Structure 1
Amino acid sequence: MLGIKEITHTIELDLEQDKEKILGNFSKTIRQQIRKAEEEGVVIETNNNIDEFVNFFNEFAAKKGTFQTSKERILEKKDHMIISFAKYQNNIIAAQSYLIDREIKIVRHYQTANKRFDNDLNKNFVGQANKYLLVYNLLKFKDEGFKIFDFGGYAADTTNESLLGINNYKLKFGGQIKECKDYYSLPYWLIKKAGKIFGWSGTV
């Protein structure tokens, strides 16, 4: 079948390393913040409560001005998606989802949302809880035998300040930049390009 090949990049962390080495490769700031969140009493829950996640994620996406999600989009993933929450005093502070492939032992960070736009909460605390949620699950996936944690993309050669900030954030967890080869059918590739040009909205 004729198609289009695109080269993209992502950041991958080798989960087959010793846990001490994984933690040691985190930036000092990351280690301090996840320790602080744990000491403050942030609790991690993995319960796949789809309605709770969709409501929380869409509230965050609306404030950020980005794509929302839907219960149908999540149900499409079946058992290949895991949802996890960081809670403080029984209130959700951050939520994340992960796409998993149990056969080849790869997990990919998929969606994230948090309360950083909530004026009633300390933004530093929200950031700490969000990082703690990521690290808690990353180590949990390691314990379950997963081999690679994919941070979900890297914007190579970008000058966009926002994307540069996301790149630098992901690299603080000790992962390595990897090249990816993506293949698209021609009709899908054209629709994908048109969507970027015209700013078509959708769900994730």
Structure 2
Amino acid sequence: MLKTKYKRGLVKMADYYGTTSKEKLEDVDVQISMKNLFPGTQLHSSTDESLHSYGRTLVIDLNKSEEDIFSEIRKNARYKINRAAKRDNVQFCAIFSPTNQQIDEFVEFFNQFAKNKNIPKCIKGKLQGLRDKDALTITYVKDEDEKTLCYHAYLRTKEYCSMIHSASARFDNSQIRSLIGRANRYLHWEDIKMFKEKGHKWYDFCGLFVDPSTDDELNLNRFKKEFGGIEIDVDKKIYAHSLIGKAVVFLFKWKMRNRPEYNRAKLIKHHNYSLGK
């Protein structure tokens, strides 16, 4: 189990990975607990005090050989990975214990991307908290002019590594956009190989849209599925530990009331999960 604490504005947060139990916490307003449902995982009943959801994610079995993993990637994606590796003059870089400055550089890059995509910004304190637990890895690809083309940030547990942020540089030039698309696929492949070598069992793309409703959501799901892998559920529970926490959880519930992953939690019954399903 991995746990980390950070602040989201004035709210004291605690994230737990690998469990969905409510912890005894006195210095926290909101606890977010999530667990990937790998083979044979037993589901536990939801309590009325938690905001409960079941999401989906895509994982790659790193126990397979590198050759088998690569063969399961779709042909066009394999071509783009090979072209990036052999012809695009790009360089893969990985940071396993990023400094505050390196985290700042990532945050600046990602938040500009988030602004363009109209998605939430990343939380610097959360990244620092993971780093302080020796559970954060940042990877990126740069071109021959040392310009960063794309970034990934991962949390690491003993069992799996999970991508928590992904961002690409923005260019109007179509040729450069194509280069970035190849570089991002190449970055995923290099990440997969690296985490396999480090002994992790699973590579987690950290989320699929359960019921994609926009072109961006459809395209993101389609991109991730280019890499093969298998889909599993993610059990997520949010608990309040204070009056402030209760207000925040109520706000989360209001925002999530029509989300498919929230509605799935009302429908899924107890059973053992199998990755083959």
TM-score (norm 1): 0.86
Task: Note if 1:130 corresponds to 2:184.
Answer: yes
Higher RCO structure, 1 or 2 (CA under 8 Å, sep 6+): 1
Match in the other structure for 2:90 = 42
Greater helix share, structure number? 1
User: Are positions 1:84 and 2:139 aligned together?
Assistant: yes
Query: How far off its partner does 1:163 sit?
Result: 1.4
Change (3 A) 1:51 1:157: closer
Distance 2:52 2:111 in 1: 32
* Counterpart among 44, 47, 50 of residue 3 in structure 1: 50
Distance in 2, matches of 1:51 and 1:175, equals: 32
Q: Deviations over 1:151-201 (max 9, x none)?
A: 11112233333212111111110111112222222635423123458xxxx
In 2, Cα distance between the equivalents of 1:118 and 1:157? 29
Task: Establish whether residue 166 from structure 1 lines up as the match of residue 217 from structure 2.
Answer: no
Alpha-carbon distance between aligned partners in 2 of 1:114 and 1:84, rounded to the nearest angstrom: 12
What are the within-5 Å matches in structure 2 for residues 176-187 of structure 1? 176-185=230-239, 187=246
Counterpart CA distance in 2 for 1:6 and 1:62 is 27
Amino acid in structure 1 at the alignment position of 2:70: L
**Are residues 1:57 and 2:145 paired?**
no
Are positions 1:74 and 2:151 aligned together?
no
Shift of 1:136: 0.2
Q: CA separation in 2, counterparts of 1:55 and 1:180?
A: 29
Q: Size of the alignment, in residue pairs? A: 194
Partner of 2:155: 99
Q: CA deviation at 1:118?
A: 1.7
- By how many angstroms is 1:51 displaced? 2.1
In the TM superposition, residue 34 of structure 1 has moved relative to its aligned partner by 0.8
Give 1:41 deviation, angstroms: 1.4
1:12–1:62 distance in 2 versus 1, CA, 3 Å: same
Aligned counterparts of 2:61 and 2:250: Cα–Cα separation in 1: 34
Give the fraction of aligned pairs with identical amino acids, expressed as a percent: 25
Deviation track 1:66-88 (CA, whole Å, cap 9, x = no partner) reads 22235333212222111111001
Helix, strand or coil at the partner of 1:166: helix
Distance in 1, Cα, partners of 2:239 & 2:188: 34
**Residue aligned with 2:59, SS:** strand
Largest Rg, 1 or 2: 2
Aligned twin of 1:193? 253
Q: Cα RMSD between the aligned structures?
A: 1.9
The one-letter amino acid paired with 2:185 is: K
Asked if residue 118 in structure 1 is aligned to residue 171 in structure 2, the reply is: yes
Q: Name which of structure 1's ranges 184-193 and 41-50 shifts more when overlaid on structure 2.
A: 184-193
- Equivalent residues of 2:51, 2:253 under 8 A apart: no
2:195 is equivalent to residue 141 of structure 1: yes
Deviation at 1:91, TM superposition (A): 1.1
Query: For the structure 1 residues 154 and 72, does the alpha-carbon distance in structure 2 shift closer, same or farther, using more than 3 Å as the test?
Result: same
Deviations 1:93-142 (A, max 9, x none): 1111011112xx21111111111x22356111011111111110111100
Unaligned residue ranges in structure 1 (runs of 5+) = 198-204
**SS of equivalent residue, structure 1 residue 76:** helix
